[in-house]
A and B are shown apart, each in its own frame.
Chain A
């Protein structure tokens, strides 16, 4: 079985852990428990007749631990870049993360998640407001862990591009 390391990245409280919980255990909670350090989960996805085991590194979103962050992203095959459009500042955060990754380990396939789409009326930005780097993404997906909107699509899309990358090699 192919295993790939995937990191969940984004500012704090954008909903990284919630995406993982929904995807892995199909549960959701409105209670915010910030992730301390990192939590590693695993989920097997099927793509056609292939299976891929995603090793999900759910990293805390706090800025000041950037040096620990560069340790966590080592060896990752791809990542989810999560933003919370109700907090436009989370986009700046994503920009920094994207730059950090590109300089530290080089570009990797990624999917941008515009999270909490159940709160769309409170969104302060749309897809068009994302910076240029968003064009490099495999896909930009509006999702909600709360309503289980397109959470599977997020992981499935990334898994597919990881598999394609592998076959291309």
Chain B
């Protein structure tokens, strides 16, 4: 399943997509530790798989939380969360 967490508001679209099929193959769960904003958590989804998700309390703030990782100039090719996710299951829409 592709889970898109985030929002679209007047200022743009801000979504973090997690390919949860990759989570079930992942042993390291690098997303949890790597994110300075600590926005990820593991949860058991409705089909009983343990997958990563963006915390409910963080979903509507990701544009702000991720700001520090996304400087206007000199943004790294892979964001910390993407680099730490070994199966490459995380993408950002902005």
Our verdict on whether A and B bind, yes or no, reads: no
